[in-house]
Structure 1
C-alpha cells in the first residue's frame, strides 16, 4: 500500500507533499517540509498562494493559514505560530470569530464554495483555534476565539458535515477537556439524528455533490478522537475496510468533491492520499 502510494506521489505531487510523505513514512527531515510551507507565507504572517488547492490567489486566508500551521505542527516546528496568530487576530471580528474567506480573495480564482464574507464563521474559527491550541499558543485573541467557538457549538441544533468535523478538531484540542467531552457527546447525537454520517448508504446531504459524504473516519481520524465514541467497533472496522479498498490502481486515493479547475485534481489527490495513509496507520492497519 505504501509503496504504491509513494510511486503515486513521485509522479503527481507537489514538492510539499513529497517532502511531507518523506517525513511521515521514509524517515525524512522536518526542515524541508517547513521550507516548502514557507514558500506560501506572506509578509502579514498569514499564508496564501493556493496552499489549500481550492483558493488559487496569493492573499493570506484563514484556511491556508490553518493548513500551514497544521503541517508545521506535524513536524514539530512552531516558528510561524506568532505571525499566524497575529494575522488571524487582525482579520477577526469583535466577537473573536474569523471569516471563512476574506475580501482579499475576491479578485482571484477560487472554488465556488469559497464565498467571500465578513461574517464570523464557526467552521473556520474552530479550525484555526484547534491548531493554535495544539501548539499551546498564548495569544490574547485565541481566548476570544475559543469563547466564540464554545458559544456557537453550544447553540448548534443544525449543522453540516464540514462544520461538524471542524468542531471535532476544536473539541479534540481545546484545554477544557470536561466541557469538550460533554459537547462532543451532544454533537455526536446531532450527527446521527440529522444523517450527517455515511454508514454505508452513500447518500450525500442536500447541497453536496453525489458521493460527497463524511464517513466515520472523517470525523474520527484517530482512535483518541472524541468522535470515535460516536461509532461502534463494527462501524469503524467496516469504514476502514472501505478506506483501504478505495486506493486506486495508480496508488493514490481520490476525493468526492468537484474539481472546479483541472489542477486541483492533481493537487488534492496527493493530499488525500497522505491523509488516508495516516488514518490507516493511526488505527493499526499499516505500520
Structure 2
C-alpha cells in the first residue's frame, strides 16, 4: 500500500467514524468506489442508449384508402412525444460519442470551506484521457492517464512524487470515481449517468427547455461501493443542463450516504458535485508515463 493509499484509507475511516475532516469525504470515497467498479463486468451503455433513442425516433404515417371519387390523402400521425428519460438518453449518447473537456467540483456540508476540483479530458474513440486532482494542502495530488486504453495512476503524497502504477487490461473508458467521490460515473464510464438512472428506476422530469431533474436511490451493485462496505443507504438528487448542441453542458448533484458504525446507523454525510463539460470534438493528447 502506498502512502497515498494509506492517506485515502485514513480519510474513509474518519468519514465512517463521523469525524469532521478538512480533507473531505469525497476524497475518502474515491478509492472504495473505484475498487467496487473495477470488479464489475462492464456493460455497454452506448448500445443500450442507441436502442432507446431509436425507439422514440420513429413516426408512423397512415395512408387512408381513397374513396372511388376522391384522391388518396396521406395523413401523418403526430410524432411520438419523447419522455424526459428518452431525451436524456439522446443527450448522453451525443455526449459520449466524441471527445470533451471536463471540470469536476466537489464540496460538502461538514466543512463548507472545503472544495476540491478535478480537471481533465477524454476521447472515447482513441481511449485517451487524463484527470488531475490537486488536494487542499496545495502539494499532494492524484493524476490519472489513459493512453491507448492503458490506465495509469500517479501523484504525490505531499512529501514525494509517487511512482506511476499501471493497471492490467485494456479500458475503453476513463474512470471518474476519484473526481466524483465514487458516486455516479461520468457519461464515458460504462456505469454511466443514464445507466445509473435507468437501472435504479430513477425519477426524471423536464424542468426547462434543456434542463432535467433526477432522483435515484442506488442499492446493491448499483452503488459505488464494495459489497462489504458499511453502507446503509445512498441517495442522489441532481440536475442536468444541455447545451445548444443538445449535449450535456453541466451535471450537478448531491449524494447523501449513511454508514453503519459498530452496529449503529450513523448520521448522513452529503457531498455536492458539479461537472461542467466543454470542448466537444477537440483532440485529446496524453503522454504515456515514462516510468510506470
TM over 0.5: no
Larger radius of gyration: 2
Q: What TM-score, normalized by structure 1, do the two folds share?
A: 0.27
Instruction: Judging by fraction of residues, say which structure has more helix.
Output: 1
Q: What TM-score, normalized by structure 2, do the two folds share?
A: 0.27
Instruction: Judging by fraction of residues, say which structure has more strand.
Output: 2
